[in-house]
């Protein structure tokens, strides 16, 4: 953990303390990143952490060996305003070691397969990929259920968090998972990504209609208010691979091969 990462994470926590409202899973820690950020050259990008990082299928807080990330209760705090440097270091240590403990594999194994042709992975002794979210705070409801005002509020509060950590990393490529992520990334970064329909990625539906596959690519120079200090390659696809109906292994392989090809100079 570098002093820069610590300072950026402190900013993320301070921002959370200044927020209120039922849209936040307020007892769950902010998640600046998942995995070994300091070793990563590639990062997948989502919108915000899933509540399942903190609760089981019945909505109960994960505890003991089931716990993935810290909470107020696990840290012995009543409120995040009580957090000191030791608590913040505990949060960052859990983020760094996320894939060494009990990761939410139902989500991340799918993305790791997309990274494989690139030669990157979240897992193992020499990870070369991590995950960052545009909003580092879990919400009680899924992102799509939140009102437009709630989504705008959260993006405004968290929009620079991903920028701080990408800026201070060696990340060379960002992989955007799904249409919503592409849309929100363009909003917070100001990047205008090129797009193209990819016939091999289309998903069949009953009758003549189908869901087309769309590839996105371009570069980002900033995220939120943060100047990255370099040009970072950005690629994405419109299917949310974990929840889009009909995503086949063949479509996933094709997307992974395309990501690897787009990453080459």
pTM of the model: 0.92
pLDDT of residue 121: 97
Task: Render pLDDT for 33-65 as a digit per residue (tens, 0 to 9).
Answer: 999 999 999 999 999 999 999 999 898 999 999
What separation in angstroms does the CA of 195 have from each of 43, 157, 234? 20, 28, 12
**Residue that is written with structure tokens 């929840």 in the block:** 243
Question: Would the pLDDT of 221 be above 70?
Answer: yes
pLDDT of residue 235: 98
Taking Cα atoms as reference points, which of 31, 22, 29 lies closest to residue 140?
22
Least confident range of 29-38, 111-120, 147-156, 209-218: 147-156
pLDDT of residue 242: 86
Task: Render pLDDT for 90-107 as a digit per residue (tens, 0 to 9).
Answer: 999 999 999 998 999 999
Question: Would the pLDDT of 16 be above 80?
Answer: no
pLDDT of residue 142: 84
Read off the pLDDT band of 2 (50, 70, 90).
low
Taking Cα atoms as reference points, which of 131, 142, 68, 76 lies closest to residue 100?
68
**What 8-state DSSP symbol labels residue 243?**
T
> Mean pLDDT in the chain?
90
Enter the CATH code of domain 3-263.
Answer: 3.40.470.10
Higher pLDDT, 144 or 119: 119
The predicted model gives 229-247 an average pLDDT of 90
Question: What CA–CA distance (Å, rounded) separates 135 from 133?
Answer: 5
Task: Render pLDDT for 64-74 as a digit per residue (tens, 0 to 9).
Answer: 999 999 999 99
């Amino acid at each position: 953990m570098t002093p820069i990462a610590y300072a950026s994470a402190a900013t993320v926590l301070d921002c959370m303390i200044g927020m209120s409202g039922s849209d936040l899973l307020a007892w769950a820690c902010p998640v600046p990143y998942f995995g070994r950020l300091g070793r990563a050259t590639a990062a997948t990008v989502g919108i915000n952490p899933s509540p399942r990082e903190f609760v089981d299928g019945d909505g109960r807080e994960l505890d003991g060996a089931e716990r993935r990330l810290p909470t107020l209760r696990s840290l012995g705090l009543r409120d995040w305003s009580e957090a000191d440097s030791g608590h913040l270091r505990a949060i960052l240590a859990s983020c760094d070691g996320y894939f060494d403990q009990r990761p939410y594999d139902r989500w991340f194994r799918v993305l790791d397969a997309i990274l494989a042709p690139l030669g990157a992975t979240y897992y193992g002794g020499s990870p070369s990929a991590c995950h960052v979210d545009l909003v580092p705070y879990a919400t009680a409801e899924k992102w799509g259920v939140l009102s437009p005002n709630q989504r705008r509020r959260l993006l405004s509060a968290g929009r620079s968090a991903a920028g701080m950590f990408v800026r201070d990393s060696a990340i060379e490529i960002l992989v955007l998972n799904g249409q919503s992520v592409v849309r929100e990334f363009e909003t917070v970064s100001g990047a205008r990504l090129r797009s193209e329909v990819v016939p091999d990625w289309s998903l069949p539906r009953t009758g003549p209609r189908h869901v087309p596959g769309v590839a996105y690519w371009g570069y980002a120079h900033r995220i939120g208010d943060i100047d990255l200090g370099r040009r970072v390659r950005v690629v994405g696809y419109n299917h949310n691979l974990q929840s889009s109906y009909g995503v086949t292994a063949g479509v996933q392989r094709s997307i992974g091969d395309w990501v690897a090809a787009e990453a080459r100079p």
